[in-house]
Structure 1
Amino acid sequence: MPKLTPEGFETLVQSIADALTSSGWNIEEERAIDYGVSLKLGRGGTVNLYNGKAGPKAVITGKLLEHEQREIEAIVAARVETPKKEETQNAHAAKSCSLLGLKGPWIGSDEAGKGDFFGPLVVSACVMTPELAEQAAKQGVRDSKSMTQREVFDAANWIEANCQTRSIVLLPEAYNTRYPEYGNLNTMLGAMHAKVILALHEATKVRDCLTDRFAKDNVITTHFVSVNAPIKFTSMTKAERDTGVAAASIIARTKFVEAVKELSHQATMELPLGAGAPVKKAAKEMLRLFGPDELQKYVKMHFKTAADIGARPYTAKELANR
């Protein structure tokens, strides 16, 4: 691609900025640099866009998690050359996969919102078959953390139309009520996974189930034993490689983002994702405007961020770790 006109380059920059914003990235600063423009992102990353003689190029830098780096690369590579464009496309190609090696149906489950201060905790489960997995791969179904938000939404529409799914969306107000009953997040998360898995088992009689490992298996399996459900449960790390778990992760992510958008509308302010500096800034403003009682309708109060902004006292453990 040859060098763009100033107007063409400005349009390209705006297109990338819009795509990043629609995928949940906050652009804290846009500034001119030599031969281009720099976009400073809210979670510690930077996208530098250059308009050289050989055409526009992008360089992504900063302290990003692996899945965040992949997501930004995918967004930018769709619009401009990046050093890892070919590598990114090959790495992100969806492949049909049953990590359990099954010839029949199985249930995959995953969650979203666990590490986000704002918004709900979502757990979803999906019934997958080898035949559906082949079709899902053609639709780009893979681990949602390696997908742009638009890709996630498109894949979610296909999954909902072709697969049986169940989800629990635990909004912050209910989350904050239930959290003390369980004592810790993983115990509550285990109960939510068990509930959606049992719902699909009862509807389909599918027994095999796979979940990405986040705790000891008994935080989930104890709920199967209590109702005498004959579920063959497996958990493993990086289970999102499995098409069933990947499909569940896509549904969970979609419902999480939709819920955050609705909460943003109710709060009349944008609620940023994650738990970094932009999140703390927005939470401080919400606390100032509405007070702690209203804040708990939008955030997970057991996060240390709530204490950092003065919405609740520090716990003894938090004080010990300061």
Structure 2
Amino acid sequence: MNTVVLKVSPQEATKMASHYSAYQAPSKNPYITAFFKLNGASLSIYTSGKVVFQGEKAEQEASRWGYKPESSGQATSLGQDLPMIGTDEVGNGSYFGGLAVVASFVRPEDHAFLKSLGVDDSKKMTDQKICQIAPLLKEKIPHQALLLSPKKYNEVIEQGYNAVSVKVALHNQAIFLLLQKGVQPEKIVIDAFTSSQNYKKYLKKETNQFANPVTLEEKAESKYLAVAVSSIIARAMFLENLVQLGQLVGRNLPSGAGSKSDQVAASILKQYGMAGLNQTAKLHFANTQKAQKLVK
């Protein structure tokens, strides 16, 4: 999805609202004064004076109001030139360790600081680099971090949650709690792990709700600094948890879900039984059955 952000005067905002009046639609976002659904794009006019175009024809529509398309890198920069919350999770694909979800609030004035640290998608950074800068990010950037331990993860799976709905619950709760701290985002982006339709379906079951609209975007951690920050903090949390859990069973627990995980799980089974795996691993993974076969 293309995003273009323009800073306009009150007079220009009024002119835009008049021009698109036939396309006006309701919005639950308290920071949006007017919202319009156009053909191939949406338009949001914020109380701050910023106007956000989103959709396939975002650049085309924004060009009517003085926007000049630049390189793709510049477009990405413009797309996050507003206070926003970004969320990401780490641990979903790992048999051992918990599930870490983080929501971070990043403002345009934070960008220089983040770039000076080399903030990027955590998948592109070494674990050593992540562990170095995560404490600096946690100190400087407003965020909400949640860690679901393997034991608790297994409990909620038994209660009827699945691998997707548990992430919906955690992302929603992290955003909800961060909003409770008083931050005022003009955009909320989740690194997409499911479709928007699926997200909304599971979201209906959650108690804590908020009015701000949420956008799910693929590879958001490489597009938005707010998501990248969450990705780094979540990765650091996951790694720390993996070490702590490994100390409980006297083993180095591998990340991921490969054959190495099967072998370590089998050794835990031999010494501690299923109780040991319940404390350290996500039991519904196929690794559990593979480890059980290795023990026999």
Secondary structure (helix, strand or coil) at the match of 2:167 reads helix
Secondary structure (helix, strand or coil) at the match of 2:188 reads strand
User: Per the alignment, do residues 163 and 271 of structure 1 end up closer, same or farther by CA in structure 2, a change over 3 Å counting?
Assistant: same
- Residue from 170, 180, 187 that aligns with 1:192: 170
**8 Å CA contact retained: 1:98, 1:244:** no
> How many Å apart are 1:202 and its aligned residue?
1.5
- Distance in 2 between residues matched to 1:195 and 1:272, nearest whole Å: 28
1:217 aligns with 2:196: yes
Where does 1:240-255 land on structure 2 (aligned, <5 Å)?
240-241=221-222, 242-255=224-237
- Residue from 96, 99, 109 that aligns with 1:118: 96
1:169 aligns with 2:147: yes
- Distance in 2 between residues matched to 1:112 and 1:245, nearest whole Å: 12
> How many Å apart are 1:99 and its aligned residue?
6.6
User: Per the alignment, do residues 124 and 136 of structure 1 end up closer, same or farther by CA in structure 2, a change over 3 Å counting?
Assistant: same
1:106 aligns with 2:88: no
- Distance in 2 between residues matched to 1:219 and 1:277, nearest whole Å: 31
1:130 aligns with 2:108: yes
| Post-superposition CA distance 1:29-88 (Å, at most 9, x none) | xxxxxxxxxxxxxxxxxxxxxxxxxxxxxxxxxxxxxxxxxxxxxxxxxxxxxxxxxxxx
1:290 aligns with 2:269: no
Give the TM-score taking structure 2 as reference length.
Answer: 0.68
User: Per the alignment, do residues 299 and 169 of structure 1 end up closer, same or farther by CA in structure 2, a change over 3 Å counting?
Assistant: same
Residue aligning to 2:179: 201
> How many Å apart are 1:246 and its aligned residue?
0.4
**8 Å CA contact retained: 2:90, 2:231:** yes
Give me the CA root mean square deviation: 2.3
Of the two structures, which has the highest relative contact order with CA contacts closer than 8 Å and spacing of 6 or more? 2
Residue aligning to 1:259: 241
Q: Which runs of 4+ in 1 moved over 3 A?
A: 95-100, 218-221, 223-228
Residue aligning to 1:230: 211
Give the TM-score taking structure 1 as reference length.
Answer: 0.63
Residue aligning to 1:269: 251
Equivalent AA in structure 2 for residue 153 of structure 1: C
- Distance in 1 between residues matched to 2:219 and 2:195, nearest whole Å: 15
Secondary structure (helix, strand or coil) at the match of 2:292 reads coil
Identity across matched positions, percent? 28
> How many Å apart are 1:168 and its aligned residue?
1.0
Equivalent AA in structure 2 for residue 306 of structure 1: T
Secondary structure (helix, strand or coil) at the match of 1:287 reads helix
**8 Å CA contact retained: 2:82, 2:107:** yes
- Distance in 2 between residues matched to 1:96 and 1:274, nearest whole Å: 35
**8 Å CA contact retained: 2:176, 2:209:** no
Equivalent AA in structure 2 for residue 131 of structure 1: E
- Distance in 2 between residues matched to 1:253 and 1:149, nearest whole Å: 8
Query: What is the aligned length?
Result: 217
Secondary structure (helix, strand or coil) at the match of 1:173 reads helix
Residue aligning to 2:23: none
- Distance in 2 between residues matched to 1:141 and 1:224, nearest whole Å: 34
Equivalent AA in structure 2 for residue 213 of structure 1: A
Secondary structure (helix, strand or coil) at the match of 1:309 reads helix
> How many Å apart are 1:225 and its aligned residue?
8.8
> How many Å apart are 1:271 and its aligned residue?
0.8
- Residue from 280, 283, 293 that aligns with 1:301: 283
Equivalent AA in structure 2 for residue 202 of structure 1: Q
Secondary structure (helix, strand or coil) at the match of 1:265 reads helix
Once structures 1 and 2 are overlaid, which stretch shifts more, 102-111 or 301-310? 102-111
> How many Å apart are 1:117 and its aligned residue?
0.5
User: Per the alignment, do residues 172 and 159 of structure 1 end up closer, same or farther by CA in structure 2, a change over 3 Å counting?
Assistant: same
1:280 aligns with 2:262: yes
Residue aligning to 1:12: none
- Distance in 1 between residues matched to 2:208 and 2:84, nearest whole Å: 20
- Distance in 2 between residues matched to 1:190 and 1:101, nearest whole Å: 24
Structure 1: gaps of 5 or more residues: 1-94, 312-322
